[in-house]
Amino acid sequence: MPGCMQWFKDRAGRDGACAVIALALSTITVAMVAGTLAPVRCEAASFSPSEKLLPESTRVWVSVADPQALRKRFERSSLGGLVFDPLMSTFLDGLRQQGRASADPLRGTLEITFEEVEQIAGGEIALGVIERPDGLLATVALIDTSGHEDAVQPVVDALLERVAAKGGKALATPPRNTALIKAFTIPVAAADAGKAAPADAGKAAPAGDAKGIPAGENKGGTAGGQVTARQLAVRVTPGILIIGDGYDAVSDVAATLDTTSGTTLTTGTPAGSLASLPAFAKVAERCATGVPATAATVRWFLDPLAYLAADRRTHPPKKNRKGPDYVAILRRQGFDAVSGVGGCLFFGEGDVDLRHNTLIHAPPQNGRPADGPGRFQKAARMLCFPNVADLSPAAWVPGSAASWTSFQWDIANAFDSMQPLVDDIVGEEGVFDDVIASLKEDPDGPQIDVRGDLIRHLGGRCVVASDHETPLEPDCERMLIALETRDAEAVAAILAKGMTSETGVRRVDSGGNVIWETIKPTAAREAAPAAGGDDAADDAALRRRTRQRERQDNDSVWPNLSVAVAHGHVFVASHRDFLERVLANGSSSSVAEDGSYKAVAAELKQLIGDERALSSFNRTERLVRPAYELLRAGRLPESKSLAGTLLTRLLDNDPQQAGKRQDAGPRKQKVDGSSLPEFEQIRQYFGVNGMSMQSTPDGWYFVGVGLWNGKKPAAAGPASK
């Protein structure tokens, strides 16, 4: 049975249980950059708010009610200052010239550029990702063109020229909205032709079906299991432009509008619309709290599990990469209690550079209590985060740390709720109980009763901190997790008992503290027997396992996993040097004493009060600098950090291949970062930010703020178009 330390290393960020955590972190990440609010509409709006036009099957929705006002606010923000700084223009222009999807994502999906949208937008701009009746996804953009009608036709003509240049052919005329919707099929580029297609992507629709799509001209065609074509549909009406990657989606949205004026046919909140969803309404109501009337907001909404399920159908995994269906697992385990996530984001109100409100909507299920572990069912019972009056940083959190997050979690309840989830992920009932039993009973194992010897001694406070060391190499970033304990001596004794039974673990005495550190078991590998004789097959298998272990060690996010008990907490760190710095911080400065932290904490207290279940603080310059320097040096794909991995995927033309190892080593960086300025020249744009979360009867409510770090630079302006 593998040791606990190696198990943690192998599976951190890779296997099923961590996929659940990754989903939660992804949701929180989205929450940190967005929000929902009753829209501030332009007086000359040509159509009702987009949430009343889009159907309730909309899985993702983003809207800007007043794009001109938002742009002005954005230009005065730190992020806008960075984007429009002349020092960044060469790099950003290079992205556009390389045709990177990240530089203009709408160009790759809907054949329109951000610059063209800006030229014609007179009111709301909205983007919706809709689940079609066949279970696949379609994307639709709605643009209010009030006051910019003269600019619409040139933009549409340019769009149609791009479609023609890609070999687009007019779709046979459907019976509905014949004169208003132009629809095309566009061949898929050769680089994309090998991607797996939805099982029904090329099935012909019955003649005269409900959507009016002729036989053989559905979402896309297939040949030999490959996607061969995609659709684009455009509807031009006075005051509104609708563009979508499916005729039926554009047609359905257009059906809610008057065919000549473009105005909405219905009043109020139409039944069956996105706005009619209870989750959407609750998110909009809660996230409007405290938002200034003058704020130019970005609003958003996401139905997470429904979207992920539809995305899996639309972009199914390749045969050789199929694994557990985590969306189905989460549904079976009660996590479908989360019925929606949404919020609002805005810039430049007072001294706050950026602010967002977010609600994860998860009301109690089936008449269950409003709080406590009984709120949800099955494994979802682990989602119990009690509010407390104080979540300030502990004295041992270094003042220079890049990030700090503290949250309350009912750990004992989470452990007790984990069994059905783990069994479901593995696909075999009783696996979790067998593992726990083996940890206690296996004579070659640690012989620890996890629940009785460890979990019962843990408190409810959890802390996550991160930082980086110099030089700024791919493995320079550090992370640490700390769990509060009620009985440090008992936990330290259990830890020592378990660690002494581990292979590849050594004890290190550091400043009066005991650290248990994993090391690469090179001696065991060197002692592996040579192939030959009757044991050749066994020897070959051993060598394969050795090579696999070496690859895992090289790719591990936690290469030198280190554990210690101190300061009333159990510490688990990615690297021993960071753990030693934390343990020795009792006499050094703490984040709690930092002026920037105090400023962020004061803003959050005004917005959300003292009672909360989560608090965080981040120094963005320390968070982003390692990835930035690697991007400049052309080594970004080598990064093992979350920020580096996400940036690689964002900048890569083929995100599915980003960061994958090749025979010759890490994947080469496709984006030229050599034109980026030195970090010191743009450091002033990276401030500090924080976030707080409250558990509420409706779910979890987040408020986040970003502040300038020091003197606020002068208002920025566009550097290049």
DSSP output for 550-562:
HHHHHH-S-TT-E
The answer to whether position 701 is within a domain reads: no
Q: Identify the residue with better confidence: 226 or 664.
A: 226
Rounded Cα gap, residues 549 and 11, in angstroms? 12
Beta bridge partners of 666: 661
pLDDT score for 268: 76
For residue 72, the enclosing domain spans: 32-314
pLDDT score for 532: 47
pLDDT tens, residue by residue, 476-512: 999 999 999 999 999 999 999 888 877 889 999 998 9
Rounded Cα gap, residues 617 and 633, in angstroms? 29
In the predicted structure, residue 231 carries a pLDDT above the cut 60:
yes
Q: How many CB atoms lie within 10 A of CB 331?
A: 14
The answer to whether position 544 is within a domain reads: no
Cα–Cα distances (Å) from 577 to 32, 473, 495, 582, 617, in that order, read 30, 15, 20, 9, 22
Q: How many CB atoms lie within 10 A of CB 689?
A: 27
pLDDT score for 25: 34
The answer to whether position 167 is within a domain reads: yes
pLDDT tens, residue by residue, 103-131: 566 777 899 988 899 899 999 999 999 99
The answer to whether position 44 is within a domain reads: yes
Neighbour-count burial of 209, counting CB atoms closer than 10 A to its CB (0-12 exposed, 13-18 middle, 19+ buried) = middle
Q: How far is CA 150 from the centre of its chain?
A: 39
Tokens 């220079």 belong to 400
Average pLDDT, rounded, for the chain: 81
- DSSP letter at 633 equals H
Structural domains counted in the chain: 1
pLDDT band at 262 (very low <50, low <70, confident <90, very high): low
Beta bridge partners of 169: 185
Neighbour-count burial of 582, counting CB atoms closer than 10 A to its CB (0-12 exposed, 13-18 middle, 19+ buried) = buried
The answer to whether position 104 is within a domain reads: yes
CA angle 26, 29, 33 (to 5 degrees): 140
pLDDT tens, residue by residue, 155-186: 999 999 999 999 999 987 665 555 688 999 99
The answer to whether position 41 is within a domain reads: yes
Greatest mean pLDDT range, 41-55, 325-339, 660-674: 325-339
What percentage of the chain carries pLDDT values higher than 70?
75
The answer to whether position 634 is within a domain reads: no
Q: How many CB atoms lie within 10 A of CB 524?
A: 12
Q: What is the dihedral of CA 197, 200, 206, 208, to 10 degrees?
A: -60
* DSSP string computed for 220-271: --EETTEE-EEEEEEEEETTEEEEESSHHHHHHHHTTB-TTT--BS--S--T
In the predicted structure, residue 689 carries a pLDDT above the cut 70:
yes
pLDDT score for 650: 75
pLDDT tens, residue by residue, 537-594: 666 666 666 666 555 555 566 778 999 999 999 999 999 999 999 998 765 688 999 9
Q: Which of 670, 653, 647, 650 is nearest to 108 (CA)?
A: 653
Rounded Cα gap, residues 661 and 94, in angstroms? 26
pLDDT tens, residue by residue, 574-589: 999 999 999 987 656 8
pLDDT score for 554: 56
- Strands (DSSP E) contained in 89-136 are 125-131
Q: How far is CA 365 from the centre of its chain?
A: 26
Query: What H or E segment, with its residue span, contains residue 464?
Result: strand 458-468
The answer to whether position 160 is within a domain reads: yes
pLDDT score for 537: 65
Beta bridge partners of 617: 404, 690
pLDDT tens, residue by residue, 442-466: 888 788 999 999 999 999 999 999 9
pLDDT band at 86 (very low <50, low <70, confident <90, very high): very high
